[in-house]
Every structure is written in C-alpha cells, then in structure tokens.
Chain A
C-alpha cells in the first residue's frame, strides 16, 4: 500500500476541511454580531436588570460580560444559530483533525520513522498537536470560542505545509539518526502547540480587554469569557509550554554534544531558541510585575510566538546554519 500517497491526500483534505470549519466559525461570529449592541433605553434597563438577577454572585456584571439574554424571538434565533454554527465548526475540526492524524501517521509509516524529519513533516505534526490541544480543551474546559483563530491557524499552517514546504518521503540524513530525534522534536512540537494556542489566546485577550475598557463588549466578544479569565487560561498554556520548551532546548543541547561535540555553539537555530526562551521568560516575569500585567504581558507572549515562528520558518529558509533540514 502506498502510505505516502494516502498521507498526502489526507493532509490536503484536512486543509479543505479546516477551511470549512473556519467558515463555520466565521458564521458563528457573524451570527453574534447583534448581541450586546445598544438597544433602546427602556429595553436596555430591563436587560441589565435581568442580567444582574440571573448572574447574581457570579461577578460577571463587574467584568463586563453580559449574559446573552433572551429578549425576543430574534435573539433566540440568533442564539440558536450561533450554537449551531459553533457545533458545525467543532465537528468539522474533528474531521479535519482525524484526516491530519491519518496524514501524519501515514507519513511516518511511509518513511518508517518519526514523521518530523523536515519542515513539512514538523509543521503537520505540530498542527496535530495544536488541534489536539484545542479539541481537548473544547471537551474538558469549554474552549469552543477559540474555534475561529485555531481553525484559521490550522488552515494556513497546513496549507503552507502541503503547498510550500512539501517534500517527498525520504530517509533521514545521518545527522538525525539519534534517539534525541524522537525526544527533542516531540517536545518541540508539543510546546509549539501550547505556545501557539497561548498566542491565539493572547490576541483574543487584547481584543477583549480593549472592548471591555471601552465598555463596548458586543457581538461574539460578549459570549467569550472575561479578559481576566482569558488571561488565566493564556497563562496556563504558557506555564505548561515553558518548562517543556526549556527541556526541548536542553535536549537539543545534549544532542548537539553527541552530534557536533559541543552543547552550545550559537548556531542560528540555537540562538533563536534561546531568544524565544528569554522572551517567554519575560512574559512569565511580566505577569508578576506591577505595570506589566495584562495587555503588555499579552504583547510579550505574541512577540514570543513571532520569535518561535521565525526560528522555525525564517531560520530554516533564510539563514544558513547546521539545522538546515527544510529540504525545500
């Protein structure tokens, strides 16, 4: 059986399905556009009064979240539509995820090794981790509202992988024949997943916080948790990813000692891994420094993610170094 062929077909299909999921989530956001829009004065008073009574004690009134209220048949319809589109989006994401898992596993079978020997394989593997993390969070913690950015990321990244980064199945160069190939890159893809979800959350945090500060939380933003809560979830993703990234860099250093006889040589990839590490260290410190919490910390997290991507794409394609395994 031609695993390589089926793997490619599955991955290309996953891009299409992720794109459809993205459309579904876009429709979900669009359906919510009228929620929270200022209503005539009388009705508004009613709405806020109701909100207070229905949300008593939960503290949501102070954080600016207005409970989506059923004020009339129109809103009820909109509510149902939002939920329907959301469900369709998640269902499509599950299908896209299944396809990309088939693609990555097929690739591994075709190459008879871990499917992360070049940029194409690493991107698709890391995206499996990203979407897995997202779906897990949807299932366990109700993070369905992250659907739009995650499916966008999955579409763009997997799309880039199958078009720009694609290389045919081939064995590894001798430099990658090592047990650290398994350890180093598995850790890298899992932390990549957590950093990416964390970065998306940071963007949502900034958007939500701006709306809250202006006092104009409307549309789909009114349906996602408060900025305080998003900040907390963002922190958890980064707190998970940071030690793992530290381990990834350390494992890379150990491997480098075996492969090149020095554990740190300021190769561009190593340098950018450290830069990324330092920026995320900044994020963790900023979160506990007065005057740096909130939006500033979120911006640092996004800069960290940008550095992570540059280390992956920029360093592989633009800078020459020892980690030139893109094969593109």
Chain B
C-alpha cells in the first residue's frame, strides 16, 4: 500500500529518529483506496455541494456582463478593439464564451458528480426506510417537543390503543403497535413523501442536464435573411449562419420550403413610446417537401411555424432597397433588392451594393438606407423605424474588373482593395442621395444608378432542439418534487397507556387493575416547516380520552 500521507521534510521518521512513532498528532494511514474514499466523501459532502453551488453562481456572472461570442460576436470584436491589452487576456481565459469554457464546465460537472454521489446512497436509505416500521416508542414521552396526557378510568382505557391506531391511520400515518416492557404502545410516522420529493427533484436535475446535452449534441439552429417575395429552402447552403451539435448531420435537414409572401409591420405613432414595435406578421407559404401541396401560414413573434420537426421563428426584419445599376456601356449590370442591416432602433440601415459585372469599370456603392430620413448636424440618419420618407445615401467606388476567385466574401461589407472612391470635378467625394424612383448618372461616364423602391426582409431562424421535451418533463418533475420536499412535513407520534396518576409513579401502580389510566401522547416534527404539533397532540389525547373540545377547555 502506498503511503499517501505527506510529512514536512526534516520530520521524516528515519531509523535514528529518537522520537517514538506515536509522538505528535499522527493521522491515520489511508492508503490509495482510503484516499479515494476520502476524496469521494469530501466531494459528496454537503459543504462541498454548497461551495460548488456558490462557485456556479459566481462563475455564471461574468457571462452576463462581458459580451459573449455566441450571443453577439460583433460586440466581442468591438470589445477586443477597445481593450487591446485586456481583451486578449479575457479571450485566453474564455471570458467571451463563459458557458462553454473549461472552468465553467468543471464547476457544473463537479456539482453534478457531487449530486450523484449524494443521491445514490440516499436512494438505498430511502428504499429501506419505505419498508421500515415506525421507530419504537421512546421510554419518556414527556421529553418530546410535544406531549399531552389525559387520565381515564381503567374501564375507559380499554381499546384506547386500537382507537389511536385507527385515528392515526385515518390521518395517513404508518402505524405499528409495539409491545414493550411498559406495556403496549402505538408508534406512527408519516411524511415519507418528503424524501421522495427531494430525491425526485435532484434526479430531475440530472435528467434536465441530459435533455440539455441531447439538444446540444443533435440540435441545430441557423438563420437566414429572406427578402419579402422570396423563399427559403432548408438546406445548408441557404443559411447565413448555422450552429449545430457535434452529432448533427446536415443530410438530416428536412427539405421544406418557406416563401415569404407578405410582411406587415406597425410601429407606435402616438406620443408614448413613439417608434416602438406594435406588429410583426409574415404571411408565408410552406411546402413540407418538394412535390407536396403548399399551405398558407401566418408567422408571428411568439407564434413559430412547425414544419416536419423543425421550428421556424421570425426573429428580425429590416429594409432592402431595390436598386438598378447601369454600367458605362449602358447595360443593366445589377437590378434587385439589396439587404441592408439595421444599425439602430430607427432602422438606419447599412449596406453595400456590389456590381462586379459593370464595364468598363466595376462599381460598388456603400452607404445607408434611411426609412425616415433627416439630414442634420449629425449627418443623415433615420428618425422613425417605418418607411415614411425613405432615402438611400451612398458613396461610389470604382475600379478595374477583378478576376472571379470564387472566394466567399461578406455581402454586408466592402473590401476596397483595387477600388477608388469616386470624386467629382472639384475633388470632393461623390455622395448620392436617392429617393424611390430617382436615378442619377455617375460622373466620368461610369453609368447610372437608380433607387427603384424598397422591400422588407425578415430574418428566419430555423432550428430543432431535440432535448427540449426531456428538459420540459424534467423541470416539471423537479418543481413537483421540490414542492413535496418543502411542503410535506414528516411527523412521528406515539401513544401509550400507562397505569397510575403521573408518568413517574406509573411503575408503582403495576398490578392495580382498577387504578386510573394515563393516556400519553408524544409528537416529534422532523422538519422545520410545520406548526401546530402541540395542538394536534393535545387534540389526539383529548379524542382518545373521549372528551369533546368543550370539556377540554374546562379542564
């Protein structure tokens, strides 16, 4: 066996050490088995569970205060640029993805291990307790927290214990009649469901974790921006972003199709909360699979669409100016809606119109679409989220045609390599402001651009969380178990009939058959959340003595 005990150097028990082995406080030798058992006992102790719970609470906090990658990657990169020294350190210790970081995972996994270690032995104990009989009657009932006694004549004492047993059984106690040296007594216990509820609650937490894990492994969630009038087919290429669990397989995506026919929005125009959203409603046509009939559905916030195991949520919207660009040769080089991304609550929307096919020079337009435009000291901006006075403000870039590389590029930002910003004769940067229907010729014979109008787009989120039903059932059981474990109040009651006038001299009166009998009732609550023990014990004693409440009040 390995000696796992460590002693400070210089205190080793060498052969020439004059001190006897027993000198000083010597810890018992544990051995590796013992050490493991010791560590396990430590891990599963209530104290450790408490510390781990605290640690979980503390560990969860930074994720709510520091931007998180999985919620808003943009804010994370903003944070990194704003804090050039602190940012990388945060990144290294995982503060931008707290909830998947090793230390956070360690805390909750240890907590769940501790939980398992706590409930497994308790399951056994509880299984035995379920079959066990109520504990035998204590010798001195007078020492219990609640105690009542009533005197009756010897003839009245007949059948008191039977009545006590029946009475307690009616109150859902488990009852046994004990034969003891001081005569027979009744022992009763109830409230077994408290521990059951406690166990159910803790097991439900494990199942909940299982549900979350199933969702994390097999689930997927992606989003796609769809311009009104266009459609979305459920395949990997159609997603703007897709996050899926490790065991998710792309071919599992169901081949449904959603066409957004119409999208209605309304914003508050009154004086209170001006501009607040009031209505988002999309009319969609859904085809479950190619070749199947199409059905019309309404998609709203809080009313997702369920298609073949997946859910489709409406999680965002914005504007897509419809632009037509003619190149220097007079050909239409681009025409259609371009998705612009909202930058603020009034839908000041930023975007880029790329026209790589324009000749002799390729063109690009970068700027803002403003649904209700004003131009003031702060520059052009939108003052209302609805399109009351839409305008497109853009700068123009041009350059020699670039070779198609096939490399994916961000459609929302402009890579200006090989492009120069267009300037007018005076050398000022060309800024175009277009209203719907308005067109402008570009300088230097580069072509023209027209704002034909605008559309709206909606952001559809498609996903499947396969663990959700498990989690839901688990949380239901957890709440039920919690209620049982907090509101069921275990109680023990004992009833004994003794001879004599006081409990102390009961022994002396043995043999005197006509001596008055004393009914003793003792009660013990095994949990805090209960009142009325004394009253219940008093009532039981009075009932057994055959007295009504009025009589009791008089005595």
Q: Do B68 and A266 touch (CB < 8 A)?
A: yes
Task: For A282, give its contact among B50, B99, B476 (CB under 8 Å).
Answer: B50
A264 / chain B contacts, CB cutoff of 8 Å: 212
The reply to whether the CB of A163 lies closer than 8 angstroms to some CB of chain B is: no
What chain A residues lie within 8 Å of B70 (beta carbons)? 266
Across the interface, A250 reaches (CB within 8 A) one of B47, B212, B272, B479, namely: B479
Tell me the bound Cα distance from A52 to B277 in angstroms.
69
Q: Cβ of A171: which chain B residues have Cβ within 8 Å of it?
A: 268, 278
In the complex, whether B475 has a CB less than 8 A from a CB of chain A is yes
- State whether the Cβ of A274 lies closer than 8 Å to any Cβ in chain B: yes
Within A139-196, the residues touching B (CB, 8 Å) are 167-171, 173-175, 177-178
Residues of A within 8 A of B49 (CB): 285
B484's nearest neighbour on chain A, judged by CB, is A243
User: Which DSSP category, helix, strand, loop or mixed, fits chain A's interface?
Assistant: helix
- Residue from B56, B273, B465, B482 in contact with A170 in the complex, judged by beta carbons closer than 8 Å: B273
Question: Which of B280, B315, B465, B529 contacts A239, CB < 8 Å?
Answer: B529
Contact for B280 among A174, A258, A327, CB less than 8 A: A174
Interface 0/1 of B64-86, CB less than 8 Å to A: 11001011000000000000000
Contacts of B278 in A (CB 8 A): 171, 173-174
Contacts of B68 in A (CB 8 A): 266
Taking A177-B302, A246-B482, A250-B476 as given, write out 14 further A-B residue pairs in contact, using a Cβ cutoff of 8 Å, ordered by the A residue number: A168-B273, A173-B278, A175-B301, A235-B529, A246-B479, A253-B471, A263-B468, A266-B99, A271-B60, A275-B61, A278-B56, A281-B53, A287-B528, A291-B47
Contact A282 B54 (CB under 8 A): yes
Chain B residues contacting A240 (CB-CB under 8 Å) are 486
Which residues of chain A from 20 to 38 have any CB-CB distance to chain B below 8 Å in the complex?
none
Q: Which residues of B contact A247 (CB under 8 A)?
A: 479
**Residues on the A chain within 8 Å of B471, using CB:** 253, 263
Contacts of B479 in A (CB 8 A): 243, 246-247, 250
Are A266 and B63 in contact, with the CB atoms below 8 A? yes
Interface residues of A in 184-225 (CB under 8 A from B): none
Instruction: Report whether B221 and A261 are in contact in the complex, using a CB–CB cutoff of 8 Å.
Output: yes
Cβ–Cβ contact A259 & B50, under 8 A: no
- A260: chain B residues at CB < 8 Å are 313, 315, 461
A257 contacts partner chain B, Cβ-Cβ < 8 Å = yes
| A88 sits at the interface (CB 8 A) | no
By size class, the interface of chain B is 35 or more
Complex CA distance for A177 and B479, rounded to whole angstroms: 26
Q: A175-B302, A262-B221 are in contact. Are A170 and B60 (CB under 8 A)?
A: no
Q: Is A47 an interface residue (CB 8 A)?
A: no
- Interface pair A261/B212, CB less than 8 Å apart: no
* Interface membership of chain A positions 225-260, coded 1 if the CB is closer than 8 angstroms to chain B and 0 otherwise: 000000010011001101100110010011101111
Q: Would A173 and B277 count as touching, CB distance under 8 A?
A: yes
CB of B483 within 8 Å of the partner chain: yes
- Are B468 and A257 in contact (CB-based, < 8 A)? yes
Question: Is A126's CB within 8 Å of the partner chain B?
Answer: no
Q: Quote the shortest CB–CB distance from A275 to chain B (angstroms).
A: 5
Cβ-closest chain B residue relative to A235: B528
CB distance from B157 to the nearest CB of A (A): 27
Asked if B283 is at the interface of the complex by the 8 Å CB criterion, the answer is no
Are A262's CB and B463's CB within 8 A? Answer: yes
CB closest residue in chain A, given B476: A250
Determine whether the beta carbon of A275 is less than 8 Å from that of B50.
no
Give the Cβ gap from A66 to chain B, nearest Cβ, in Å: 23
Smallest CB separation, A129 vs chain B (Å): 19
Question: A271–B63 contact, CB under 8 A?
Answer: yes
Given contacts A175-B301, A250-B479, A278-B57, is CB(A170)–CB(B486) below 8 Å? no
